Amino acid sequence: MPATMPAAMPVVMPIDPRRVWRTWRRKVVNRVMGLTLAYEGMMLLGAMVATIIVGVITASDLSGVQWDGIISLISVFVAFGFLLLMRHRDIFTCEFWLGGQHRDSYGEPNQLGHISQYGGGRMQPLWALMFIVLGMGVQGIVMLVQVAFSRLGTDLASPTSDSIAESSVTVSMWLYVGLVAPICEEVLFRGVLMKELKPLGKNFAIVTSAMVFGLFHDDVVQGTFAFLFGLILGFVAMEYSLVWSIALHIFNNAILSGAIDTLAGNYLDDNAYLIFSLSLSVIGVIGSIIIFVIYGKEMRQYHRTNRSIPDTYFGWAAPTFIIFVVANAAFAIISFVGAMMG
């Protein structure tokens, strides 16, 4: 009898774990950055609709600043409502705000139901003071750079800051800048974005959320401050809680950059105000240097401990991340160049 031919065995291609990791990583980044893009789109839509409605109701010229605060509040409420709709199962939990163990309810299939730790550390008064000083240091660095350029005959334009300063005479804009915007921004960038990126590593999540936060401001000068300040806010939210990052953000916007700066501007002449601002900047920078000298070793250890595995930052190749970066960076650069030339 003829010999029986053995059945052909299927060829199994070896699975490259590095390729699988890259694919999963891009999916994680793409998912949450898609939500961030949609949030930004909803803000723009809300602003457009609010502008039309206010214009029709009041039948007035909206070229002034009296309605800027109202329009800004409406736009952020529309966007935040969208965010609540998309992430309500996560946002409406105590762990989201106060930190602690939580069960992942969004993300890729292998993330769902996973228990992880987010925040939960106990904030000490000394640490809270140091985070405030670091925030002052970041603000001081940006201001000192602006002063240095000014002394060289070039004023670094910040269209967003100028617009906010002009319209901050209204209660609505004060409410937006000092309270509503910090809360909504922290929920999006540190609560949703950073939390969903945490499986890729704490460092990656903090840096990426800070970068997106900076670009979100569409302003070169203010965006630089927002990125650096976002690193501090990200660490606070990651290790303590979202409530503490919100408190720090509100303190910066409403107290340091709001009430104190406004009172100084109203009661001091130009020279005295400049001296006051420079003094605060120097105090913040010197205080930050002291903190880095004392706790630099612990900071480097934190960075090493939470370093992401190789190739993690290729997650920035996700389509939605690229779209967000290109669109916002282009707008910021065009706005900056236009303001500098104008």
Minimum mean pLDDT among 33-37, 54-58, 289-293, 321-325: which range?
Answer: 54-58
**Phi, psi values for residue 117, rounded to 5°:** -100, 130
The predicted pLDDT at position 13 comes to 53
Q: Which amino acid is at 30?
A: N
Q: How far is CA 230 from CA 51, 181, 220, in A?
A: 30, 14, 15
Distance separating alpha carbons of residues 81 and 75, to the nearest angstrom: 10
Token pair of 312, please?
Answer: 């993690």
> Which SS3 state, helix, strand or coil, does residue 115 take?
strand
| pLDDT greater at residue 2 or residue 129 | 129
Q: What is the pLDDT of residues 223-243, one digit of tens each?
A: 999 999 999 999 999 999 999
Q: Which amino acid is at 340?
A: M
Distance separating alpha carbons of residues 203 and 190, to the nearest angstrom: 13
The predicted pLDDT at position 83 comes to 98
CA 331 to chain centre: 17
Record the pTM: 0.91
Q: What is the pLDDT of residues 104-113, one digit of tens each?
A: 766 656 666 6
Residues 6+ apart with CB under 8 A from 75: 43, 44, 45, 46, 47, 50
Name the pLDDT band for 341 (thresholds 50, 70, 90).
Answer: confident
Name the pLDDT band for 261 (thresholds 50, 70, 90).
Answer: confident
The predicted pLDDT at position 310 comes to 81
Name the pLDDT band for 12 (thresholds 50, 70, 90).
Answer: low
- Among residues 108, 107, 72, 109, which one has the least CA distance to residue 86? 107
- For residue 319, pLDDT beyond 60: yes
Share of the chain above pLDDT 90, in %: 64
Token pair of 140, please?
Answer: 């001081």
- Among residues 11, 1, 78, which one has the least CA distance to residue 40? 78
The predicted pLDDT at position 169 comes to 75
The predicted pLDDT at position 24 comes to 81
Q: What is the pLDDT of residues 39-55, one digit of tens each?
A: 999 999 999 999 888 88
The predicted pLDDT at position 193 comes to 97
Q: How far is CA 314 from CA 23, 239, 324, in A?
A: 10, 25, 16
CB 332 within 8 A of CB 225: no
Could you identify the residue written with the tokens 């120097």?
282
- Among residues 16, 259, 256, 265, which one has the least CA distance to residue 142? 256
CB count, 10 Å around CB of 274?
A: 12
For the chain, give the longest Cα–Cα distance.
110
Q: What is the mean pLDDT of the chain?
A: 89
- For residue 305, pLDDT beyond 90: yes
Q: In the Cβ-directed half-sphere of 341, how many Cα atoms lie within 13 Å?
A: 6
Residues in the chain: 342
Distance separating alpha carbons of residues 210 and 317, to the nearest angstrom: 17
